[in-house]
């Protein structure tokens, strides 16, 4: 080696570590307003302005009516309310921003003012708010009081059996809407029937959509299989709109067409779409999105799927991108639109960014927090992976519990899920057979019921599905045919559920803003309006709902700990016997090490947190002590359960002045007579990763200290495990058993132990 | 839309299926109580009975207005005019409204006229006419593919 290592270093290796983290797969973009990479403001954004005239609006956001593009024209004609326009536009934006976060200013007043504001004004107001303020304003301004959530239900094979099983699963977990789409476009009809049947298993009322080509989607809706649509996209620049193959008028016409067929509808828009489509006009993402949202209110749609959506990943590449996504959602609800608030297309490979992205929406609530949540595995998501997916659903359930926040989902027991999946697969199989569309085998069905994802199924191929789908379409099979098929094959409950949902169409009740169905009732912004006006108002978890949310699986209880110890006790009684000799005296041989055991050690508790039996632990310690020429004496302490005091008390009794303190959970210390309680010789605090070999070496070191030597301390290596998360609940329950057995001033007692031959 | 008894429908009438079941009728006049599984199985309930009516859309429009949502109400009123328009006419109109489908303004004006005369859809006719004017100004009557 010619050079010293430090002289040749050209990199701090931490950067190499960082290079390996998933975050570095995310690619970030420089802020560049001229090229559309600006979240909140661009020099090319217009200043808010409006001028009325005899024939309507004569100028808006710096543009004269003669120069209006189609979007301007539509907004000026249908969105701007002349009665509030002058009042609203005259208010200083900072003042309006303060009103948004002022709990004493009612939502209704702000909604009234928004009707008189131009896109540039709305954008300018929300740009004054921090991320926290946006989240707070969002929770105040969203239209419906009760939050909800939407699931994606798709799979890589378009397999109807799996779609039905996964739809039923999503329904069980509490989603209010499910959305499907296909790998192969012609499979739309098969997907629609499969999800409609699956969603009728267990309970009814989950709205369902099948995202497909516009005309086909409407036809599927008219056949009665779907109840809503949301992929009616709008854009913030005219050229993007035209490349999207629509105009505000064509989309508004389509919106009315859906309503005329009794189908709920929302539009879709989101930051970044104009950037991706190449026509951003050098405007900020927020300003373009404000145009989209004003346009949607103008078109008369009840709601929007908004918050980046397919543009979320590119939006998250720029500074403030995630804050922008929140800001556009705020404009949506301020404009009194239902908001299915994005949190879908996965904008990052970093799980930390995922968690950070979802949190404001989880605690603020939203009409549909995700639009949607990938209820299936990532590779099965035909929309592409979502922010949250089947893999991470339990993380989300725990976040709900952590923050006592209603994210719209409910934990479900394993056995229940299995029952529902089986029922759903049987139901769709019956329909396929009854309508002579296909005959799934028992093996196909069984593979789907158990499968986490389509890699594990032996079911239909996409081609076989295409034949089914073509037949459904060609034979004009409608929802009534499916209802009849279900009923005639013994699925009367599912038939009734499906009919209940379709029947709601007649009243049109679920066409109103933010409508969903809970417990057989339509709930919307009309009969469940958000009435937030400060603490104690707005949406609050009921006791019943809280009970549902906290009931995640596999939680530890004191009873469970005691049950486990009872099992260990039986095993330990065959390995070791403890005999109380009498009060422990001071002093003894100069090589004597006292092992001070805790009150419940071998009495109520029998195993360390690492899973070592206490007999094996004592064997390791005493073997270690004798290996270095020491003798050991066991003393049970009852005056304390604390490791340091166990150790110090033991040391003071020992002839050598060196003692070991050990708790039943495995935490141990080597102590010396003249030291302060918390100034020990060696501490073994990470009992979950302490091995029997560590305990043996600990005994050896104690004997070494007894001789006056200074051994190499035993280091129990940690790899940074979250010990507290893994073990502290159990440790606390175990330690409480120890402390309950302490008695003030109790005298230490000598214990004689004998290791027994273990008999089978 | 006015209720035959007590003036315009309002927020208290919502949801209609719960609060005003007397008003909720399918296209052949069947009420919610008639739309049962038993009647589906005998064939007494057909697809038309599960379709929304123009009347229901006007009722919902009245409720939207009462809630301050006038643009949503307008959408429901446009929808009410579409209820009796055949699907292929709706899709033909939609298609013609998409950019570049109509090569001339008169194509749109013709279909607007048809909506108004054949289907008495005056709102839709005006809406399509308005689109024709704007498309002309924005140069949308050109071939795109």
Cα separation, A296 vs B97, in Å, equals 17
pTM of the model: 0.95
The yes-or-no answer on residue A568 being catalytic is no
Q: In B, which residues are within 8 Å of A299 by CB distance?
A: 71, 75
Residue B143: what pLDDT?
72
CB-based contact A696:A620 (threshold 8 Å): yes
Cα separation, A46 vs A61, in Å, equals 6
Neighbouring CB atoms inside 10 A of A3's CB total 8
Spatial CA neighbour of A181 closest among A464, A386, A349: A386
Cα separation, A60 vs A580, in Å, equals 92
CB-based contact A294:A335 (threshold 8 Å): yes
pLDDT in tens, A293-304: 999 999 999 999
**Structure tokens given for A477:** 């099979």
Q: Between the CA atoms of A286, A291, A295 and A301, what dihedral angle is there, to the nearest 10 degrees?
A: 0
Residue of chain A whose Cα is closest to the Cα of B62: A512
B60 CB near a chain A CB, below 8 Å? yes
Neighbouring CB atoms inside 10 A of A684's CB total 23
Contacting residues for A7 by C-beta, under 8 A, at least 6 apart: none
Going by pLDDT thresholds of 50, 70 and 90, the confidence category of residue B1 is very low
CB-based contact A163:A195 (threshold 8 Å): yes
pLDDT in tens, A486-521: 999 999 999 999 999 999 999 999 999 999 999 999
The segments of chain A whose pLDDT lies below 70 read 1-7, 758-760
Cα separation, A48 vs A183, in Å, equals 44
Neighbouring CB atoms inside 10 A of A673's CB total 15
pLDDT in tens, A421-448: 999 999 999 999 999 999 999 999 999 9
Query: What value does the mean pLDDT take over residues B62-74?
Result: 98
Neighbouring CB atoms inside 10 A of A588's CB total 16
The yes-or-no answer on residue A162 being catalytic is no
More confident residue, A527 or B2: A527
Q: Between the CA atoms of A495, A501, A505 and A510, what dihedral angle is there, to the nearest 10 degrees?
A: 180
Q: Using H for helix, E for strand and C for coil, what is the string for A33-77?
A: HHHCECCCCCCCCCCCCEEEECCEEEEECCEEHHHCCHHHHHHHH
Specify which residues A305 forms β-bridges with. A268, A340
Return the DSSP state at B31: B
Contacting residues for B61 by C-beta, under 8 A, at least 6 apart: B1, B72, B73, B74, B76, B77, B80
Nearest to B52 among A214, A297, A506 (CB): A506
Task: Kindly state the helix (H) or strand (E) to which residue B71 belongs, with its residue range.
Answer: helix B70-82
Q: Between residues 8 and 27 of chain B, which touch chain A (CB distance below 8 Å)?
A: 11, 14-18, 24-26
Give the CA diameter of chain A: 110
pLDDT in tens, A264-283: 999 999 999 999 999 999 99
pLDDT, chain B, mean: 93
Residue corresponding to tokens 């029947």? A503
Cα separation, A361 vs A381, in Å, equals 22
Distance of CA A692 to the CA centre of its chain: 39
Give the gyration radius of chain B's Cα atoms: 19
Cα separation, A134 vs A114, in Å, equals 16
Per-residue pLDDT at B16 exceeds 90? yes
Q: Using H for helix, E for strand and C for coil, what is the string for A687-719?
A: HHHCCHHHHHHHHHHHHHHHCCCCCCCCCCCCC
- Taking an 8 Å cut-off on Cβ atoms, the answer to whether B17 and A513 are in contact is no
Nearest to A508 among B56, B87, B134 (CB): B56
**Structure tokens given for A389:** 């997916």
CB-based contact A371:A344 (threshold 8 Å): yes
Residue corresponding to tokens 């929300």? A126
Residue A2: what pLDDT?
54
Cα separation, A216 vs A225, in Å, equals 12
Q: Between the CA atoms of A239, A240, A241 and A242, what dihedral angle is there, to the nearest 10 degrees?
A: 50
Print burial letters for A593-607: b (CB count within 10 Å at least 16), e (below 16): bbbbbbbbbbbbbbb
Cα separation, A278 vs A535, in Å, equals 45
pLDDT, chain A, mean: 96
Neighbouring CB atoms inside 10 A of A758's CB total 11
Residue of chain A whose Cα is closest to the Cα of B87: A219
Residue A5: what pLDDT?
58
Secondary structure of residue A187 in the 3-state scheme: helix
The yes-or-no answer on residue A102 being catalytic is no
B76 CB near a chain A CB, below 8 Å? yes
Per-residue pLDDT at B6 exceeds 80? no
With both helix axes pointing from N to C terminus, report the angle between A558-572 and A723-740 in degrees, rounded to the nearest 10: 70
Cα separation, A133 vs A143, in Å, equals 18
Cα separation, A215 vs A233, in Å, equals 14
**Structure tokens given for A74:** 């539509």
Cα separation, A369 vs A409, in Å, equals 10
In angstroms, the first-to-last Cα distance of chain B is 44
- Taking an 8 Å cut-off on Cβ atoms, the answer to whether B80 and A260 are in contact is yes
Residue B145: what pLDDT?
65
Residue A760: what pLDDT?
43
How far does B118 lie from chain A, in Å, by closest CA?
18
Residue of chain A whose Cα is closest to the Cα of B10: A526
Q: In A, which residues are within 8 Å of B75 by CB distance?
A: 252, 255-256, 259, 299-301
Residue B2: what pLDDT?
46
């Amino acid at each position: 080696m010619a050079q010293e290592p430090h002289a040749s270093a050209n990199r701090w290796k931490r950067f190499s570590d960082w290079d390996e983290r998933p975050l570095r797969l995310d690619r970030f973009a420089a802020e560049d307003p001229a090229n559309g990479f600006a979240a909140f403001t661009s020099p090319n954004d217009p200043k808010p302005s409006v001028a009325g005239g005899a024939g309507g609006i004569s100028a808006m956001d710096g543009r004269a009516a003669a120069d209006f593009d189609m979007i301007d024209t539509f907004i000026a004609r249908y969105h701007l309310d002349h009665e509030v326009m002058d009042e609203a536009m005259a208010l200083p934006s900072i003042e309006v921003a303060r009103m948004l976060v002022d709990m004493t200013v009612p939502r209704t007043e702000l909604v009234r003012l928004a009707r008189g504001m131009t896109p540039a004004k709305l954008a300018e107001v929300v740009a004054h708010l921090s991320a926290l303020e946006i989240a707070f304003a969002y929770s105040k301004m969203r239209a419906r009081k009760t939050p909800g959530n939407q699931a994606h239900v798709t799979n890589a094979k378009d397999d109807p059996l799996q779609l039905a099983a996964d739809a039923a699963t999503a329904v069980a977990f509490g989603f209010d809407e499910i959305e499907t789409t296909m790998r192969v476009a012609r499979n739309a009809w098969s997907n629609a029937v499969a999800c409609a049947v699956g969603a009728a298993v267990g309970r009814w009322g989950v709205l369902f959509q099948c995202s497909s080509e516009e005309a086909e989607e409407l036809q599927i809706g008219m056949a009665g299989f779907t109840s809503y649509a949301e992929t009616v996209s709008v854009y913030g620049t005219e050229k993007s709109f035209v490349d999207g193959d629509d105009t505000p008028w064509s989309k508004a016409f389509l919106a009315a067409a859906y309503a005329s067929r009794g189908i709920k509808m929302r539009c879709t828009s989101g930051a970044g779409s104009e950037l991706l489509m190449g026509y951003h006009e050098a405007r900020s993402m927020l300003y373009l999105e404000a145009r989209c949202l004003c346009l949607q209110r103008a078109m008369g749609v009840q709601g929007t799927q908004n918050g980046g959506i397919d543009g979320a990943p590119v939006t998250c590449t720029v500074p403030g991108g995630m804050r922008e996504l929140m800001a556009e959602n705020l404009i949506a609800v301020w404009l009194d639109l239902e908001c299915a608030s994005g949190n879908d297309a996965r904008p990052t490979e970093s799980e930390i960014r995922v968690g950070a992205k979802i949190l404001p929406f989880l605690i603020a609530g939203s009409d549909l927090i995700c639009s949607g949540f990938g209820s299936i595995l990532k590779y099965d998501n035909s929309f592409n992976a979502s922010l949250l997916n089947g893999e991470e659903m339990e993380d989300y359930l725990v976040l709900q519990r952590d923050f006592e926040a209603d994210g719209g989902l409910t934990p479900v027991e394993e056995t229940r899920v299995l029952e529902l999946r089986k029922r759903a697969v049987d139901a769709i199989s019956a329909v396929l057979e009854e309508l002579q569309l296909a005959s799934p085998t028992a093996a196909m069905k069984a593979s789907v019921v158990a499968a986490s994802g389509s890699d594990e199924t032996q079911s239909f191929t996409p081609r076989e599905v295409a034949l089914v789908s073509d037949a459904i379409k060609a034979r004009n099979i409608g929802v009534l045919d499916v209802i009849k098929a279900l009923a005639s094959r013994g699925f009367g409950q599912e038939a009734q559920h499906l009919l209940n949902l379709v029947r709601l169409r007649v009243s049109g009740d679920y066409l109103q803003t933010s409508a969903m169905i809970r417990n057989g009732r339509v709930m919307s912004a009309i009969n469940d309006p958000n009435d937030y006006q400060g603490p104690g108002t707005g949406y609050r978890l009921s006791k019943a709902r809280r009970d549902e949310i906290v009931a995640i699986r596999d939680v530890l209880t004191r009873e469970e700990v005691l049950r486990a110890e009872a099992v260990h006790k039986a095993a330990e009684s065959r390995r070791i016997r403890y005999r109380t000799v009498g009060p422990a005296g001071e002093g003894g041989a100069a090589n004597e090490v006292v092992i001070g055991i805790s009150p419940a050690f071998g009495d109520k508790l029998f195993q360390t947190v690492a899973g070592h039996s206490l007999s094996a632990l004592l064997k390791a310690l005493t073997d270690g002590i004798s290996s270095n020429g020491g003798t050991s004496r066991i003393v049970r302490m009852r005056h304390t359960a604390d490791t340091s005091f166990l150790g110090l008390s033991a040391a003071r009794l020992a002839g050598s002045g060196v003692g070991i303190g050990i708790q039943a959970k495995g935490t141990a210390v080597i102590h010396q007579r003249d030291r302060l309680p918390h100034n020990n010789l060696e501490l073994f605090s990470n009992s979950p990763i302490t091995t029997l070999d560590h305990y043996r070496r600990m005994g050896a070191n104690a004997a070494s200290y007894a001789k006056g030597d200074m051994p190499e301390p035993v280091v129990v290596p940690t790899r940074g495990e979250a010990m507290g998360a893994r073990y502290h609940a159990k440790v606390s329950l175990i330690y409480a058993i120890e402390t309950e057995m302490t008695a003030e001033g109790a005298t230490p007692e000598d214990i004689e132990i004998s290791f027994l031959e273990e008999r089978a | 839309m006015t209720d035959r008894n007590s003036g315009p429908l309002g927020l208290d009438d919502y949801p209609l299926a719960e609060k005003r079941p007397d008003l909720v009728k399918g296209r052949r006049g069947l009420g919610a109580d008639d739309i049962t599984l038993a009647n589906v199985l005998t064939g007494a309930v057909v697809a038309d009975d599960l379709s929304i009516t123009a009347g229901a859309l006007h009722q919902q429009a009245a409720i939207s207005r009462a809630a301050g949502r006038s643009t949503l109400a307008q959408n429901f009123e446009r929808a009410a005019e579409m209820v009796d328009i055949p699907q292929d006419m709706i899709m033909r109109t939609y298609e013609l409204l998409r950019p570049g489908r109509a090569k001339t303004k008169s194509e749109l004006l013709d279909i607007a006229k048809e909506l108004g005369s054949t289907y008495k859809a005056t709102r839709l006719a005006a809406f399509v006419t308005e689109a024709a004017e704007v498309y002309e100004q924005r140069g949308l009557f050109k071939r795109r593919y």
